[in-house]
A and B are shown apart, each in its own frame.
Chain A
Amino acid sequence: MNGNRILVVDDEPQIQRFLRPALSAAGYDVFEAATGAEALKAAATTAPDLILLDLGLPDMDGKEVIARLRGWSHVPIIILSARDREAEKIAALDLGADDYVEKPFGIGELTARIRTALRHKKGVEVEAERYAVDGLDIDMVRRLVTRGGEPVKLTPKEYDLLTLLARHAGRVVTHRTLLTSVWGPAHGEDLHYLRVFIGQLRQKIERDPANPAIIRTEPGVGYRFAEAA
């Protein structure tokens, strides 16, 4: 039992009905809220370690819940959303949600996302200096990237992009976040930059650039850096 507290915000009783026993069995303390108002209240009173939030709530938009929560809390938020609601997902992520899981989802996928989010929460200030995944090694201190021991030559932009993704390993990073962080606030919409640079990066770091394993595409939303196994 790790004792982390999870607030599940969903208005569908069926969803609550299976999440409660499942998350309890996975070792979390589960709290429930069916509306946005309840969610905000519960977030204040129970101080959860993570919030699972369905965006379609009867009383207010899930995005508004995020915006209000982010006014005073850095608690990790994982969105439960549908595949066909990209715009909503992106907006939620840009508002400060940490990750999302698409319905319908398996419990394994959900608990993996929960673990990643909780881990990052703990390490908010402590940034790793090294990332090693799938034969790729990133040494942030020496600004050195190697692939199977061989140094990989990267342009400064490619390096920035790679380290930004790596720092968020396991979590999705939206296009906008990547663009504004690497290219600057004026380039938030220049998706083609990103496509080109990600393509180049994959050529340099992936074992099989056609089937990328390190930088995975989250269609319509952004990219996700593989977590060290």
Chain B
Amino acid sequence: MASSADRHDNRPDPDALLAAARQDGRGRLTIFLGAAPGVGKTYAMLTRARKLKADGIDIVVGLAETHGRGETAQLLDGLEVLPRARLEHRGRSVEGFDLDGALARRPRLMIVDELASSNPDGARHPKRYQDIEELLEAGIDVWTALNVQHLESLSDVVADITGVKVRERIPDTVLRKADQVILVDLPPAELIERLKDGRIYLADTIQRAYERYFRLGNLTALRELALRRTADRVDDDMVDYLKRHAIEGPWASAERLIVCVGPDALSEKVVRTASRLASGLNAPWIVVSLERAEREVDDAAQARVDSWLRLAESLGAETRRIIASDFVTELIRLARREHATQIVLGAHPRPRWASWLGTSLADEVAASASGLGVHLVTGEGAEPVPRPRRMSIGLAERARAGAVAFASVLAATLIGTGIDRVIPVPNVSLLFLMAVMVAAIRAGYGAALLAALLSGLAYNFFFIEPLYTFTIAAPHEVFAFIVFLLAALVAGGLASRVREQARTARARAVAVQSLYDFAGKLSGTAKPDDVLWVAVAQLHTSFGHPAVALMPREGELSLAAAWPPDAELGVADMTAARWAFEHGEPAGQDTGTLPSSPYQFRPLISPHGALGVYGLRWGGDPIDGVSERMLLAVMDQTAIAIDRARLAEEAIAQGARLQGENLRAALLSSISHDLRTPLSTITGAVTSLRQLGDRMSAASRDDLLLTIEEESARLSRFVANLLDMTRIEAGTLDARSDWIDVGDAIRASQERCARYFPRLGIVTRIDPGLPLLRGDGVLLGQVLFNLLDNAAKYGGGQPVELYARVEGRDLVITVTDAGPGIPPEDLGAVFEKFFRRGNPDGRPPGTGLGLSIAKGFVEAMGGTITAESPAQPNRGASPGTRMVLRFPVPEGGSIAS
């Protein structure tokens, strides 16, 4: 057997080690447990605190209730006490524990008295134990005090003993998870003595408190409870110790409980009893809710079952749901799978005759649970939960049902009498049966009942001898009448149930359809923000309440979408939202955290972590089961959709990055090629001349020298271009502002061009009386040279036309070649850096910088440059390209004026 093998290994139980390790980083909780107020918990706590303080431990009193007791108050002297926070809530100002102050102060150990207290309205958490949980989470050790009557699992026992219903209760898990429990004990007689001396509570409340609570019997019982609880704890600690240190021994009993609950009221008692049983046996327990698969569960019942399960969880149980036709079998199967030893269930006392009708659940379980202990919890005066009325409907609805019933019966009566006049019908009752069913289907069970009654009366009155009386003459008619009534009731019931089911099915179909539509809309959205907008709109339509969604932006949670779109969140709402996001748990209305916010916030969690927070402004009622499921479905889908949208965005960004990288790589390789080719040529030619020159002909040597000259010029041009480009890019291009004569600039660039491209023909036409331009003559000359250079490369060897003239208020210079032109799709790109159009032979002749430099220079001088192609559309294969420079004529630039 695996388990015994493990034991013989003498290895520590990994779970126990894990639990011990998990404590690291988290604060340790010490609970001072007492049987009743006044046993001296606060006193004990503070005395110890003083001792630790003297040892130099950083200890702060977060909150201590002295109840006006002098000796306790004295103990606070010399201890650091955290100032209480003032909370403004609905105009009132109340004092309370300052959780944020405590977290900010971050002492090694903090004392927070009265574990079971409730916080004032407006605090972050309604209960103090939730505050303490947050302190522990933050790594602060906490000491606190607790009276045993506040434990949830004991609340009914305490009520039985003392007759006082304790309102402030805490889940047993808090005590169970405490790292240390210290019992503060005082014999009851002594406690009563102290009470009489006035050392407990304030004087004027002594009498009342004494009578209601401090009776010897009560106190003794409570003391026993406290002692037993502490003993349980000690036992647990012992088992933990044994497990951690791999000591063989009688570990926790192998008991495991399965506890069944249903929607009935007895189930609450079953849960509490099972909890005590489990803690007494030191056994894990699983609470199972049972539902028949084929039966519809109404929402009220579902809510009750949910509340029992929540109670069980707060008492430390695991919970399951079984939905099956034969749940006895399922239950037994679960018990075997979980190695349960006992089954706990509730048994309503049944009258003896009931056993004739069939066996009870308890009997069935007992019959099949061989080898298992069956523990029955009986209810006293078992009050079954009042059946929710089928027709909990409004007055208008009720009136409508009545009208429908009345109308259908009237119709049946009229038709019946009408037919009866023509041909006597023996089975007129069938008509009334139909009327009942019509009423049932149209208006439900109530209407069916009413219709059945009315039909009975009408049938008797109009059709049964003696006519027009409510009496029946013939005995067989009496029998027929009774059968009719029964049939009408049964048929009405069935028909109304069909109606109910149809209605539920319709509601479900609507919900499913709406989810389906939602999924459809989500799949059409590509951006996370759009997803959120779709989602809040969906929440608003589904529930009719305002919905918001928040996402983290630059480290701060902020409103990302809201429906209605003008929704605003207050400070309290934002705090709740942040809390929900950071802790991954619901906050706000109906939750344990900041319930004063009208919104309930829920974290939106995807497999990749928390994405954001949803908020729903749920008016009044708690969220019911159906809405809850709908909400969960919407949230799941949203989380998935956002995840998907994020991934898509990332993929696009990745693609763009990759494209950018490719472009940069291409640019780099093109620049290095442009620099390297002339360098290679020069190096190769020079070394050839030096090493092999004497073996070459004079012509070869000359040609090599010419190559060197040409390549040097090419290199120098390219470097100059690169430098120009760098200046343009860096924004350090400093265009001088002089008067320039365009004609001079054109002639200069023409001469320069003739040196580089001696074979290029240039036709110039400069209109006489051109105005002067303001600008930089050197830059303009470079622009024109670059355009001519370009025309020489792409102009197909044809002459280039260079014209300058005035058009309106602009001076226009055009450079037109007769080359193959530029395809329209490339026209916009020719001014881009490193854009090069390949030559027909596949060699890119230029550097791809000339035109972009020209553009930079022209723009620096306040002009524009555009490319037009074809320049001469009727020239067939060589339509050419026209570069158009346009400069505004400056004030005083015109010679004519």
Contacts and interface: CB of A to CB of B under 8 A. Distances in A.
Interface of A: 11-12, 14-15, 17-19, 21-22, 24-26, 35, 56, 58-59, 82, 84, 103-108, 110
Contacts of A105: 680, 683-684
Contacts of A107: 684, 687-688, 691-692
A12 B677 contact: yes
B677 A17 contact: no
A83 to B, nearest CB: 9
B672 A18 contact: no
13 contacts: A14-B711, A15-B677, A17-B681, A18-B681, A18-B685, A21-B700, A21-B703, A22-B688, A103-B680, A104-B679, A104-B684, A107-B687, A107-B688
Interface string B95-115: 000000000000000000000
A118 B789 CA distance: 44
B696 interface: yes
A58 B842 contact: yes
Contact of A17 (B672, B692, B703): B703
A35 B678 CA distance: 19
Q: Which 3 A-B pairs have the closest CB atoms?
A: A58-B842, A22-B688, A106-B687
B864 interface: no
Nearest to A21: B700
A25 B684 contact: no
A56 B687 CA distance: 23
- Chain B interface mostly: helix
Nearest to A11: B843
Contacts of A14: 677-678, 681, 707, 710-711
Nearest to B679: A104
A71 B689 CA distance: 37
Given A56-B673, A59-B842, A21 B704 contact: yes
B202 to A, nearest CB: 82
B843 A58 contact: yes
Given A105-B683, A108-B687, A82 B677 contact: no
Contacts of A24: 696, 700
B688 A21 contact: yes
A67 B696 CA distance: 36
Nearest to B711: A14
A104 B680 contact: yes
A21 B696 contact: yes
A15 B684 contact: yes
Contacts of A18: 681, 684-685, 688, 704, 707
Contacts of A19: 684
Contacts of B683: 104-106
A92 to B, nearest CB: 16
A58 B684 contact: no
B92 interface: no
B696 A104 contact: no
A11 B680 CA distance: 13
A52 B108 CA distance: 78
A12 B707 CA distance: 12
B64 interface: no
Contacts of A26: 692, 695
A105 B691 CA distance: 13
Interface in B696-736: 696, 700-701, 703-704, 707, 710-711
Given A22-B687, A58-B843, 18 more contacts: A14-B710, A15-B680, A17-B704, A17-B707, A19-B684, A21-B704, A22-B688, A24-B700, A25-B692, A26-B695, A82-B672, A104-B679, A104-B682, A105-B680, A106-B684, A106-B687, A107-B688, A107-B691
A149 to B, nearest CB: 37
A59 B679 CA distance: 24
A14 B673 CA distance: 13
A16 to B, nearest CB: 10
A25 B703 contact: no
B26 to A, nearest CB: 45
